[in-house]
């Protein structure tokens, strides 16, 4: 794992710039998803509501990484010193990252129940309360315990980029990294992958029996056919965050690799850990045909209204 020496100002600058750009794009992309949910109520369903919750968590993560990058630009090499700002940022991003893992798993469980078990768990009040509360209560509790033990803070790039996570001077650092992030992240990879493999298998078996493609809206009226893209959400979560996970394993098992590889992984982590809302935008905004159609329809209608208004004003002005 890269442990950046105090003299590596150029690497600090590079990673902070990368994080700043990635996080900015992610925040803007996340806001676009929230805008689309608000503007097109006809496309709202429970899956999209869960996506909004996931996006809010990813926005907080990106924002925390962004302000931490600005902290380096403001303080220079002094930014590697632990302070209250660093602890606060660590609390925000650790909580939001854990929440993001829980929302991702929740979406997978919800879709599996709806498509395979034919049970809409969102219609069961007690289950729905648990679904909505767990991704908030558990992350806040875990991070609050870490805060109480004083382990949040500047980690000197030991597991993160130019943002703060677990204090590099904390005891049982490996345990705290697993409890406050990596353990839940790996569990999310495994859980969502297994669920989506099972989902694919049951869909393949049903398609084979009826000799036609099963539409998700036929399986559950509350689902949209466009929700099928959620089947690969585990994949772009993995692509976005695998770089930091690789750095974690390299450090844990003391695997020696070249400095070039370490730095490349660090830079990729700076891109990936701040870009989840951006990935959500690509897959759940730009690839959603219904949503694109609604936006195009609104733009055409708006252009037509403006043209009609201009013609009307022109006619009034020409009237003698």
List of residues 6+ apart from 11 with CB closer than 8 A: 4, 263, 266
pTM score:
0.90
Question: Domain 9-304 is classified in which CATH homologous superfamily?
Answer: Rhodopsin 7-helix transmembrane proteins (1.20.1070.10)
What average pLDDT does range 35-46 have in this prediction?
Answer: 92
Which residues are registered as beta bridge partners of 165?
153
pLDDT of 6 reads 41
**Domain locations in the chain as residue ranges:** 9-304
Q: Are 268 and 205 within 8 A, CB to CB?
A: no
pLDDT single digits (tens) 69-96: 988 887 766 656 788 999 999 999 999 9
Half-sphere exposure of residue 160: CA atoms within 13 angstroms, side-chain side: 30
Q: At 297, is the pLDDT very low, low, confident or very high (cuts 50, 70, 90)?
A: confident
pLDDT of 232 reads 79
Percent of the chain topping pLDDT 90: 57
pLDDT single digits (tens) 121-166: 989 999 999 999 999 999 999 999 999 999 999 988 888 999 999 9
Which residues are registered as beta bridge partners of 166?
152
What average pLDDT does range 52-70 have in this prediction?
Answer: 95
pLDDT single digits (tens) 197-239: 998 888 888 777 665 666 777 777 788 888 888 887 778 888 8
At residue 280, the 3 state secondary structure works out as helix
């Amino acid at each position: 794992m890269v442990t950046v020496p105090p003299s590596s100002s150029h690497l600090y600058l590079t990673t902070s710039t990368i994080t700043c750009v990635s996080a900015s794009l992610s925040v803007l992309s996340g806001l676009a998803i929230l805008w689309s949910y608000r503007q097109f109520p006809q496309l709202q369903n429970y899956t999209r509501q869960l996506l909004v919750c996931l996006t809010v968590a990813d926005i907080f993560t990106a924002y925390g990484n962004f302000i931490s990058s600005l902290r380096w630009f403001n303080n220079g090499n002094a930014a590697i010193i632990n302070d209250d700002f660093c602890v606060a940022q660590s609390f925000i991003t650790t909580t939001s990252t854990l929440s993001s893992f829980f929302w991702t798993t929740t979406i997978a469980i919800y879709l599996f129940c709806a498509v395979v078990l034919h049970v809409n768990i969102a219609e069961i009040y007690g289950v729905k309360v648990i679904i909505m509360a767990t991704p908030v209560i558990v992350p806040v509790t875990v991070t609050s315990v870490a805060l109480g033990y004083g382990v949040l803070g500047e980690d000197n790039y030991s597991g993160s980029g130019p943002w703060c996570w677990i204090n590099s001077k904390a005891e049982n650092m490996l345990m705290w990294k697993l409890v406050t992030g990596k353990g839940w992240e790996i569990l999310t990879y495994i859980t969502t992958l297994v669920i989506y493999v099972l989902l694919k298998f049951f869909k393949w078996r049903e398609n084979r029996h009826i000799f036609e493609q099963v539409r998700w809206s036929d399986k559950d009226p509350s689902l949209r056919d466009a929700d099928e893209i959620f089947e690969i959400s585990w994949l772009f979560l993995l692509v976005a965050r695998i770089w930091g996970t690789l750095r974690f394993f390299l450090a844990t098992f003391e695997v020696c690799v070249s400095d070039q590889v370490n730095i490349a992984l660090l830079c990729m982590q700076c891109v990936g850990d701040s870009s989840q809302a951006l990935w959500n935008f690509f897959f759940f905004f730009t690839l959603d045909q219904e949503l694109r159609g609604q936006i195009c329809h609104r733009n055409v209608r708006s252009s037509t209204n403006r043209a009609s208004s201009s013609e009307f004003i022109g006619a009034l002005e020409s009237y003698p």
